[in-house]
Amino acid sequence: MKYRTLGKHGLKVSAIGYGCMGLTQSYPPYLPKDESISLIRKAVDMGVTFFDTAEVYGPFSNESLLGEALHPFREQVVIATKFGFDLEHGRNDVHNRPVILSSRPAHIRKALEGSLQRLRTDYIDLYYQHRVDPDTPIEEVADTMADLIKEGKIRGWGLSEAGAQTVRRAHAVCPLTAVQSEYSMWYREPEKELLPVLEELGIGFVPFSPLGKGMLTGRFNKDSTFSSDDFRSAIPRFSPQNLKHNVVIAELVQEVAAGKHTSPARIALAWLMAQGPNIVPIPGTKTVERLEENIGAAGIVFSQTELDNIRHRLDQIAIIGARYPKEQEQLTGL
C-alpha cells in the first residue's frame, strides 16, 4: 500500500481509504454484521488505514459496526467520522424525517461523546462537520474544534461539502486537516474553486463517491434500473431518461481501462489521485474482490499526455441531472 498525507500536521493515511456508509445505508442489500466486520478487517490486512463513517449513517449503526471491527487495530488505523445533524428531532431523508442541521458547541460535544462510545475509542483522528450549519458561524465551530484538539479528543478536523470561502474562514481560526466533497470523473465541480484553495492552504482533499455511485465501474448501462430502497433511484442523474445519456461517461472510462489493461474502477480512482498528491479517495465496497480492485488503483500511473487526453474528452461530456434529490441539494456548499 502507498500512503499520502492530509494537512500540514501530517495525518498519514493509505492512498486509498474505505468509505463505510454503504455497509448500513443507501445501497442495499446489506451484508450480515459478521461479514461486514470480516471485510473491514480484511481491508486492514491489505494495508488500508483510513476508514470513513458518520453518526448519521444508520443512524449510529455504521459507527458501531466500525468500532467493533477496528477495536483490535485502533492504533494502526485512522478513523474519520462526522457531526452536524440534530438526530433527536430529525434524521436524514432515508427515514422520511426532516433534515435538521446543528453545529452549536454543546451539540458538537454531545455528538462527539456518542461517536467515541460507538467507535470504542477515546479520540477521533479526523472529525468533520458533515454539512455547514447556516445558523452557527463557522468561526464558532472552528473554536470548538480547537478546544477539542487541545483536550485530546480529536486529532484534526475537517469540513464536508463546504464552499471555498467557508474553508478559508474556518482554516483561519483552526487549521483544517481535510475537506471532504463529492468528486469524480463525472462530478468535477470542486475543480473550479475548492481544489485551488485547498492546495494553497495545504489542506487535504477526500473525495466521496469517487466511483460515481457505481457509474464509473461499468456496472450500469442505459437500461439499468434501481429499486425504491436504493438511494440512486431518487438521484436525477440516474433517472431512466438521464441515464441513457449519462452512460457515455462509463463508456469513456471503460475505453481508457482497456487501453491500460486494467479495470474501469481502477482508472476512475487513479485519475482522482493523479489530480494532486493531497487527494485520498474513499470508495466503498461489500466484496473482497472489489476491495482488491480498488486498492490496486494506487499502482496505476498516467503520463501527462494520457491525463491531458482524458481531461479533453471529459470536457466534451455534459452530464444531465443533479447529483442529489432537490431537497438535499440545498445542503451542499459547492
100-158 pLDDT per residue, tens: 999 999 999 999 999 999 999 999 999 999 999 999 999 999 999 999 999 999 999 99
- Asked, for residue 52, whether it belongs to a domain, the answer is yes
Q: Are 40 and 50 in contact (CB under 8 A)?
A: no
Q: In angstroms, how far is CA 38 from the centroid of its own chain?
A: 21
- Asked, for residue 264, whether it belongs to a domain, the answer is no
Q: Distance between CA atoms of 279 and 15, rounded to whole angstroms?
A: 8
CATH code, domain carrying 63: 3.20.20.100
Task: Report the amino acid identity of residue 334.
Answer: L
In terms of Cβ atoms closer than 10 Å to its own Cβ (0-12, 13-18, 19+), residue 170 is buried
Range of the domain at 182: 3-211+270-302
278-302 pLDDT per residue, tens: 999 999 999 999 999 999 999 999 9
- Asked, for residue 218, whether it belongs to a domain, the answer is no
**Rounded (10°) CA dihedral 281, 282, 286, 289:** 30
Mean pLDDT of 81-106: 80
Residues designated catalytic: 57
pLDDT at 104: 98
CB atoms within 10 A of CB 215: 27
Which DSSP category does 175 fall into? -
pLDDT, averaged across the chain: 95
Mean pLDDT of 183-197: 98
Rg (the chain; Cα; Å): 19
- Asked, for residue 155, whether it belongs to a domain, the answer is yes
- Asked, for residue 241, whether it belongs to a domain, the answer is no
Q: Distance between CA atoms of 54 and 80, rounded to whole angstroms?
A: 8
- Asked, for residue 332, whether it belongs to a domain, the answer is no
In terms of Cβ atoms closer than 10 Å to its own Cβ (0-12, 13-18, 19+), residue 283 is buried
Number of domains making up the chain? 1
- Asked, for residue 59, whether it belongs to a domain, the answer is yes
Give the pTM.
0.96
- Asked, for residue 314, whether it belongs to a domain, the answer is no
pLDDT at 91: 55
CB atoms within 10 A of CB 173: 17
